[in-house]
Amino acid sequence: MSTTESRPAGAPQPSDADGPLLSLRKLSKSFGPVQALSNVDLDLPSGQVTALIGDNGAGKSSLIKTVSGLWSPDGGEILWEGRKVALHGPRDAEALGITTIYQDLALCDNLDIVQNMFLGHEPLRHWMMDEGTMEKAARQTLKDLSVTTVRSIRQPVASLSGGQRQSVAVAKAVMSQAKLVIMDEPTAALGVAQTGMVLELIKTLSGRGVTVMVISHNLNDVFEVADRIAVLYLGRLAVSGPVSEFDRQSAVEYMTTGAAGRSAA
């Protein structure tokens, strides 16, 4: 079963002619004797949603921390739009257009939605923050992402539901012109309705041509939203491919044993 039909019609098509947006080649990272990542090869095609799944300790966090520039790899290469890049910190990753949304969302509860979306990047006019420009841009971005449930764009983030907070974090990423958005367990701790809201948001995001990597434990969510699945097992990439090559059974087997018992494709 494929989920590509769920994309809104007329959305900008990913330009996959010029290869994947991000490619990892033989990426390795170890801590003393512990091999967190070993020779991981992974392509993230432009504009697609790739779900990164794996058991606890499989290396999911190590992978996103490396890609987001927090950790530097011990070996291997990171190719961005086909060019080799070195990420010396989160700033480097951000400059390329890689935004990582961690589970804590990094929002300030006392600031309102607009203030959170522009935090650290406020446009200035006569030494003052240009609230008008900020509010208009924030409103437009939320509208583009079909986030319509917030009562007021000026309400503090403390008053938002979990799904709405996730939406604000995503909108913040979109605002910063992110090309790749990495989301760490975006639906963990969310109820059914809010999970649905976040999954819709991910689809909208990829419909707009943004590449998304979702780390998730929840296979329901993965099959609902992902175009591709990559499975990590004990720091190695067990398998990666279009979601149509997997079913629930094989995905679980890859996660638990690193190989599929019966051929799924």
Contact (CB, 8 A) for 223 and 249: no
If DSSP codes are grouped into helix, strand and coil, which group holds residue 252? helix
74-82, 187-195, 208-216, 220-228 -> range binding another protein (CB under 8 A)? 187-195
Nearer to another protein, 173 or 219 (CB): 173
Q: Which residue from 236, 229, 227 is spatially nearest to 252, judged by alpha carbons?
A: 229
Decide the pairing of beta strands 49-54 and 228-233. parallel
Contact (CB, 8 A) for 147 and 165: no
Let me know if 137 is exposed, middle or buried by CB neighbors in 10 A (0-12, 13-18, 19+): middle
Nearer to another protein, 160 or 238 (CB): 160
Q: What is the C-alpha to C-alpha distance for residues 78 and 27, in angstroms, rounded to an integer?
A: 8
Q: Residue 84 CB, nearest distance to another protein (Å)?
A: 25
Among 79, 105, 137, 234, binds another protein (CB under 8 A): 105
Among 12, 82, 89, 191, binds another protein (CB under 8 A): 191
The 198-227 contact track toward another protein, x by CB under 8 A, reads --x---------------------------
Q: Give the number of residues in contact with another protein, rule: CB under 8 A.
A: 55
Interaction of residue 177 with another protein, rule CB under 8 A? no
Nearer to another protein, 17 or 192 (CB): 192
Q: What is the C-alpha to C-alpha distance for residues 91 and 84, in angstroms, rounded to an integer?
A: 17
DSSP letter assigned to residue 126: T
Among 164, 206, 216, 250, binds another protein (CB under 8 A): 164
Nearer to another protein, 187 or 211 (CB): 187
Q: By CB under 8 A, what part of segment 121-150 binds another protein? A: 121-122, 124, 127-129, 131-132, 135-136, 146-150
Among 76, 156, 209, 242, binds another protein (CB under 8 A): 156
CB hemisphere CA count around 234 (13 angstroms): 5
